[in-house]
Structure 1
Amino acid sequence: MFTGLIIALLAVVGAGVVVWGGMNVLASRSDRALPDGDTKLLGAGSDTPLLERTVRDVRVGDVIQRDGADWVVEGVVQYDEDGHRWRGARLDDGARERWMLVGLDRGGAATVRWLVEREDVQITGYPPEALAVDGATFRQNTRGTATARVMGDAGSLEPTAPEGPDSVTRCRWWSYSAAGSATLVVEQWGDAYRVLHGERLRPDDIELMPGS
């Protein structure tokens, strides 16, 4: 009987040691997982952003690099057509001005158009199905109507109000293409038309240097 009592006591002591050891292991693991008693999401409170911006999200103050030249983004137009969004950016390298349209075409990878505003190409009345510019014939592909926000210095386009009923304006647009990568876009702002003429680029032909 005495031997049985000793065995029972040893079993109780052994179980206590096992439980105590297990609790210490869990506490040690918890301390290693939360050394400061807090957690941080990736990018929260650090200098590393969760996602890197691309030209789809170009903003005023960014720099676009192409063929060794730096182009400062002076103005941005945000277009929205029934949920389909794209952006236009007015660029300046100190001597020249260009426009970059990103994502005008629906579906697939973002298309980039590198354009010059052509004040010498006049549109009177409704834009035709075909336009002749610099000896090339451009044929209309698509057209539509978007709401737009204009920010910064967008040249001939007046900035929209930051909020309220005047924070957006309406823009009608027509997209044309010719042989190769040649492209042309006509926009109507109020009663005025503007013609943007240039070429399509691959996204890796340019590089975005975020300004902020």
Structure 2
Amino acid sequence: MTGIFMVLLLLLLVMIAFIGVQRRSALSRHQVEADRTLTLFDLRVGDIVQHDATDWVVEDRLVYRQGEFSWLEYLLRDDDRSVWLVVNEDDNLVVTLEHEIDLPLSLDAKPPSQLEVDGRLYRLSERGTADVTAEQRRVNRRLGACQFFDYRSGSSAVLSIELWGGNSSGAGELEVTIGERIRPLSLSLLPGDGQSVYRPS
């Protein structure tokens, strides 16, 4: 009996030690995440973006590359709402918050030089083709090339058309987003645990 008791005691001590190591490892990982200094250029899935009394969770990060120039688009979620945080640094840092809309555009004709949406006139300011990669996905990371058409209205209103899987005068899929330019300082960035909140792990 004494031998069995000693074996059980030894197993119990090993289990306690293992649990302690696991807890210390988890605490260490959380501490590393908490100590991360966040910028608009290194947000990860699971991080929190606070804006206008809403806590948005980063669900995806897309990198657009056009030659040597690149910019970022983060998919942010709050329950059933989603927006795109677009971060573009050329001569100045430009940050916009955009949401998808349904706009009756024909795929058989290239987007016009100006568009009127909700009584507001948007004028085409830039167009081109970019190669898009989802850097933080495990699968389907390269999304391919898309043609983009960027519109502006006044100093802050923006509208973007992206054509995927086709060309400006042929078949493909259109995505249209509309939004506003925002001040980077209006955002608060909080580190997450690197896990998606809304997608099953």
Structure 2 residues not aligned, in runs of 5+: 1-30, 166-171, 195-201
Q: Provide closer, same or farther for how the CA distance between residues 50 and 58 of structure 1 changes in structure 2, counting only shifts above 3 A.
A: closer
Distance in 1, Cα, partners of 2:139 & 2:63: 11
Indicate yes or no: 2:143 matched with 1:161: no
Distance in 1, Cα, partners of 2:39 & 2:129: 25
Give the alignment partner of residue 100 of structure 2, picking from 100, 103, 117.
Answer: 117
Q: Which residue of 2 aligns with 1:133?
A: 117
Q: Which residue of 2 aligns with 1:197?
A: 178
Alpha-carbon shift at residue 107 of structure 1 (Å): 2.0
Q: Which residue of 2 aligns with 1:67?
A: 52
Q: Which residue of 1 aligns with 2:24?
A: none
Distance in 2, Cα, partners of 1:205 & 1:161: 33
Q: Which residue of 2 aligns with 1:173?
A: 148
Aligned positions of 1:7-18 closer than 5 A: none
Aligned residues: 155
Q: Provide closer, same or farther for how the CA distance between residues 135 and 202 of structure 1 changes in structure 2, counting only shifts above 3 A.
A: same
- Find the residue that maps to 2:104 and give its secondary structure: coil
Give the alignment partner of residue 182 of structure 1, picking from 141, 154, 157.
Answer: 157
Q: Residue 150 of structure 1 contacts residue 160 of structure 1 at CA under 8 Å; is this kept in 2?
A: no
Amino acid at match of 1:201: I
Distance in 1, Cα, partners of 2:41 & 2:54: 20
Question: Structure 1, residues 64-105: CA drift from partner, whole Å, max 9, x if none?
Answer: 1002210001122111111211111111111421111111x6
Structure showing the higher strand proportion among its residues: 2
Distance in 2, Cα, partners of 1:48 & 1:99: 23
Amino acid at match of 1:200: R
Q: Residue 56 of structure 1 contacts residue 86 of structure 1 at CA under 8 Å; is this kept in 2?
A: no
Q: Residue 63 of structure 1 contacts residue 210 of structure 1 at CA under 8 Å; is this kept in 2?
A: yes
- Find the residue that maps to 1:54 and give its secondary structure: coil
Question: Structure 1, residues 41-77: CA drift from partner, whole Å, max 9, x if none?
Answer: xxxxx95999833112222211110022100011221
TM-score (ref. length: structure 2) = 0.69
Alpha-carbon shift at residue 106 of structure 1 (Å): 2.6
Higher RCO (C-alpha under 8 Å, 6+ residues apart): 2
Return the index of the structure with the highest Cα Rg.
1
TM-score (ref. length: structure 1) = 0.65
Distance in 2, Cα, partners of 1:74 & 1:50: 21
Structure 1 residues not aligned, in runs of 5+: 1-45, 154-158
Q: Residue 149 of structure 1 contacts residue 160 of structure 1 at CA under 8 Å; is this kept in 2?
A: no
Distance in 1, Cα, partners of 2:140 & 2:127: 26
Q: Residue 186 of structure 1 contacts residue 193 of structure 1 at CA under 8 Å; is this kept in 2?
A: yes
